[in-house]
């Protein structure tokens, strides 16, 4: 069985390794190409977009793919929608692999968009630690607050006028995050509900310092597509 894994996450890399180890499957992992130096999975890797759901469906048929697993980031809403439409067009089964979100904690302020996150954060403080990724910075560009912006790669979108850019990649430690928050006198943390342990240390640090946290809710997965949380569950589904 040939499996196309739409990846870029730790869960996608774990799934690719499990598929290669099983010797019952061939796997092609597709990365969007938005990160300059991505962590590559084992097996065949394809980098770059497909050009929309119809071209993705054509690629699936031309390459003899039997099943598609959407293991992209929980906030990759456009890619997930494209995958759902393409799988339907190609007539192949689709499964969504999503790590669970973070358990809610006291002091969290839940919002549905980055625009709402900005408004809430500005009411809560003046020095904001922004960890929502480089693609959503436009929502904060006209803010008059001071921001510490942490991204993996340099952003293309305009940044707030008063901001410091920190290029870094997890995993992070609680001690390191505590030092970062204290050194920059942060009084609000803004993040997305990405889930997983890779960047969770900032949440523990914020709780220790009693800082408010603004959390952007995840978009729902495509309708009528089954969702699992682990690579083991994907393997069971394939069997």
Tens of pLDDT along 62-105? 999 999 999 999 999 999 999 999 999 999 999 999 999 999 99
The confidence score (pLDDT) of residue 26 equals 92
The confidence score (pLDDT) of residue 39 equals 81
DSSP 135: G
Mean pLDDT across the stretch 38-43? 86
pLDDT in tens, 197-219: 889 999 999 999 999 999 999 99
Residue 38 has pLDDT above 90, yes or no: no
pLDDT in tens, 93-111: 999 999 999 999 988 999 9
The confidence score (pLDDT) of residue 145 equals 97
pLDDT in tens, 144-199: 999 999 998 899 878 999 999 999 988 999 999 999 999 999 999 999 999 988 89
Residue 118 has pLDDT above 90, yes or no: yes
Residue 28 has pLDDT above 90, yes or no: yes
pLDDT in tens, 6-23: 998 999 999 999 999 988
The confidence score (pLDDT) of residue 198 equals 86
Rg (alpha carbons) of the chain, rounded to whole number? 19
Q: In degrees rounded to 5, what are phi and psi of residue 127?
A: -120, 110
For 210: left if phi > 0, alpha if psi spans -120 to 50, otherwise beta; the answer is: left
Name the average pLDDT for the chain.
Answer: 94
Residue 37 has pLDDT above 80, yes or no: no
H/E element holding 204? helix 201-208
- Degrees to nearest 5, angle at CA 224 with 67 and 117: 105
Domains of the chain plus CATH, in order, are 2-100+219-238 (3.40.50.720), 108-216 (3.40.50.10660)
Provide the edge-to-edge strand list for the sheet that holds 67-70.
Answer: 44-47, 26-31, 2-6, 67-70, 94-97, 227-228
């Amino acid at each position: 069985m040939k499996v196309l894994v739409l990846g870029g996450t730790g869960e996608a890399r774990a799934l690719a390794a499990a598929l290669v180890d099983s010797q019952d499957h061939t796997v092609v992992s597709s990365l969007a190409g938005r990160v300059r130096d991505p962590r590559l999975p084992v097996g065949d890797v394809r980098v770059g977009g497909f050009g929309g759901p119809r071209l993705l469906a054509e690629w699936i048929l031309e390459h003899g793919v039997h099943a598609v697993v959407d293991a992209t980031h929980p906030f990759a809403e456009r890619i997930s929608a494209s995958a759902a439409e393409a799988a339907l067009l190609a007539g192949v089964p689709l499964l969504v692999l999503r790590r669970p979100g973070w358990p809610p904690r006291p002091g969290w302020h839940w919002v549905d968009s980055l625009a709402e996150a900005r408004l809430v954060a500005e009411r809560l403080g003046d020095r904001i630690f922004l960890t929502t990724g480089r693609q959503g910075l436009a929502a904060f560009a006209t803010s008059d607050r001071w921001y510490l912006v942490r991204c993996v790669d340099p952003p293309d979108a305009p940044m707030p006028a008063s901001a410091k850019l920190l290029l870094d990649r997890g995993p992070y430690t609680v001690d390191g995050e505590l030092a970062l928050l204290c050194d920059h006198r942060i009084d609000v943390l803004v993040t997305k509900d990405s889930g997983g342990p890779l960047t969770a240390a900032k949440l523990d640090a914020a709780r220790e310092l009693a800082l408010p946290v603004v959390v952007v809710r995840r978009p729902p997965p495509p309708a009528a597509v089954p969702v699992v949380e682990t690579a083991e569950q994907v393997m069971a589904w394939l069997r």
